[in-house]
Structure 1
Amino acid sequence: MSTAPPRLLILAASPRRDGNSAALAAAVREGAQAAGTPAVVRFLDDHLGGFLRDCRQCRDADGRCRIDDGYRELFFDEFLPAQGVALCTPVYWYGMSAQAKAFFDRMFCYFARSYPDYAQTRAGVAGKKVALLTASEEIYPGVALGIVQQLQEYARYTRSQLVGTVHAYGNQRGEIVDAPEAPLEAARALGREFFTRRYWDLQFDSVR
């Protein structure tokens, strides 16, 4: 039985390398590393070169996606082996960024039954701990709720656990560093506690 610590993949879904989403991602990594958790930050812009196409027309003879970018390597080499995934995204038009949405959409190529190894892919996707960190210009409490709900549904569908959310308010790049709500400290705490936070999702037949 493996005693290796669980791995955390942190996805930065903003094109800005010095923006608020990047700062949240760095803070999560700091917290995770302080707890001894192996954690890496990956910027989706480095791995995504296109959106999901018609997989029936796009796949090659071996069932692989023909989109020639770094998505396959990110998905198979880092996302599937990770036990935890933290998504850091700005709020664009009251939803997640296009990069974040494309990351989830592109899973379909390897998740659908038409992919030869779909069962193995589904097993790797299921059962992860996931978290959401958002940054927005607006301060009203409901600004990121649509993204929270979307990730909740993703977690439900994949039998994963949504272990935490953090929201930061900031208009200028890096402004959340001095935000009175201390979102970076909340992000560090999430990273430290990522695999130890209690999670209890009550169902109709849950034993109480």
Structure 2
Amino acid sequence: MDEHNTPQRLLILVGSPRRDGNSATLGEAVRAGAEAAGSEATLLYLDDYLQHFLGDCRRCRREDGECSLQDNFRSLLFDHFLPADGVVFCSPVYWYGPSAQMKAFFDRGFCYYAASYPQGASVLARMAGKRIGLVLASEETYPGVGLGIIHQVQEYTRYIEGAFVGVVQGAGNRRGEVRHDPRQPLVEARKLGEHFFTRHYSDYRLATVRKTQVWN
């Protein structure tokens, strides 16, 4: 909790439609850890909100500036994403990239932070400064399987001037099989949720003033 004893809000977005899949299993572990730490945690499935990919905003934007695509993305963005203090993206690894639902989430945001949207500057301001985490589920266990997704989310986080505080990777093929990964990704996912708002984060620049040691 913050200094005013208000629970910090963590949004967990699952990019797989499988409610009992490995991404969802890991996301639930993140939620359990966050709630144990006193955070307000919400887990949502992107396919409940997204039914369309990004269109051509110059052609399909409504006259009042709103997106004309008929689904619940706007509600997801304004009611859940923008108010959150932190967000954990949970995705299966599909062809060494995120799920189509997860990619669409990032793309569709352009409709609302672009200069052509009347409140675009306000949306950008509310996007900024969030803590971001990533949870991946894959069939393959080699360490580089998720590097493309990690890089994308890391650069997204830098773009919004946020803090990319952690990655958890779990392996499994059948639904829920990630529980048997000997690397214990469910334990790590729970830790990510539990320490999400207190985990040490450092991202140095040449001009960064820093101590001569990392840990006290």
TM-score bin, normalised by smaller chain: over 0.9
* Structure 2 spans left out of the alignment, 5+ residues: 211-216
Is residue 153 from structure 1 mapped to residue 150 from structure 2 by the alignment? no
* Structure 1 spans left out of the alignment, 5+ residues: none
**Pick from 20, 23, 29: which aligns with 1:21?**
23
**Pick from 48, 62, 65: which aligns with 2:64?**
62
3-state SS of paired residue (1:28): helix
Partner of 2:140: 138
Partner of 2:184: 182
Instruction: State the distance in 2 between where 1:94 and 1:73 align.
Output: 29
For 2:101, give the aligned amino acid.
Q
3-state SS of paired residue (2:134): strand
TM-score, length-scaled by structure 1? 0.98
TM-score, length-scaled by structure 2? 0.94
Partner of 2:213: none
Aligned length: 208
Partner of 1:86: 88
**Pick from 27, 39, 42: which aligns with 1:40?**
42
For 1:38, give the aligned amino acid.
E
Offset at residue 2 of structure 1 (A): 5.0
Offset at residue 3 of structure 1 (A): 3.9
For 1:11, give the aligned amino acid.
L
Identity, % of aligned positions? 57
Offset at residue 82 of structure 1 (A): 0.2
3-state SS of paired residue (1:8): strand
Instruction: State the distance in 1 between where 2:133 and 2:162 align.
Output: 10
